[in-house]
Amino acid sequence: MGPPDQATRAILLQRINQRWAQGQTLTAQQLRGQLSACLREVPSTSVPSKCLTPTCRDIIATCQYFGTQDFEAWAWRIPFLASFLLVAIAIYIRLQLQETPIFEEIKAKGQMTKNPWKEAFFSANIKYVLIASLVVIGQGVVWYSGQFWALYFLQQVSKVDTLTSSYIVGAGLLIGTPTLILFGWLSDVVGRKFVILTGFLLAAVTYYPLYSLLGEATRPGNIDYLTAIIVVAILVSYVGMTYGPSSPCS
């Protein structure tokens, strides 16, 4: 077992990081229209790091504290159980917050919809619902394929051990996460549609060769760490391309 203070500090810092993401997102919503997409995406950089949080840093800290054998047997549940308390605190805090200014403005003007389902699905708005659904589906594919699947691929396909795979994905996430700001800025220059659709296209065309390269770089007993980290960083950059321009407070 490693020193308990290491695991405690790691878990504390990662949970602070999660709450920072949520708090900064609420702040950005309050400043709707006053920030560029580039600046609005600064808090979103901790969204991929919330993937890094439970899947990498928790694993590393818990493994070092309890040991790999105990972690695989039962200790992997600890970060998830601890999250229940944090979720309860987050719900309490959210219930104390006021609604965003745009919602309050709509409510004050009496423009609240009486039948949102009808107005969304049985009117001319259905076109926008379908377009938004397709975009969100594409974003979801890129999100999970670029982060969660990368970790799963390393552990289940390449058979890389838990700690090593976590270090590889963690490093790739740290390198790739700033692309959220980069592509948020680029969307201010060339428009969101171009950046998002380019991200979808690149992901669709390059996923197979990238994962093939990742498999070659992570052969058991002969891991090319640099290549593996770069591949993961590229996968995460696609997340930046598809999510970076899509600020909720534009």
pLDDT, one tens digit per residue, over 144-200 is 888 889 989 999 999 998 788 888 998 998 899 889 888 988 988 898 889 999 999
Q: Residue 232 in contact with residue 169, Cβ under 8 Å? A: yes
| pLDDT at 2 > cutoff 50 | no
Whole-number pLDDT of residue 248: 43
Please give the DSSP secondary-structure letter assigned to residue 54. Answer: I
Q: Residue 146 in contact with residue 203, Cβ under 8 Å? A: yes
Distance of alpha carbon 55 from alpha carbon 47, whole angstroms: 13
